[in-house]
Structure 1
Amino acid sequence: MIQITLPDASKREFPQAVTVAEVAASIGAGLAKAALGGKVDGKVVDTSYLMEKDSHLAIITAKDADGLELIRHSTAHLLAYAVKELFPDAQVTIGPVIENGFFYDFAYKRPFTPEDL
Structure 2
Amino acid sequence: MTYNSRHNPFAPIHKLDRVELALNLATSAIDGSIGLQVVGRAQTKRAALWTYHESFAEDVTLEKGYGIGDALSHIGLVVVQDRPDSVERLDFALKGGLAYGERSLF
TM value normalised by structure 2: 0.28
More helix per residue: 1 or 2?
1
TM value normalised by structure 1: 0.26
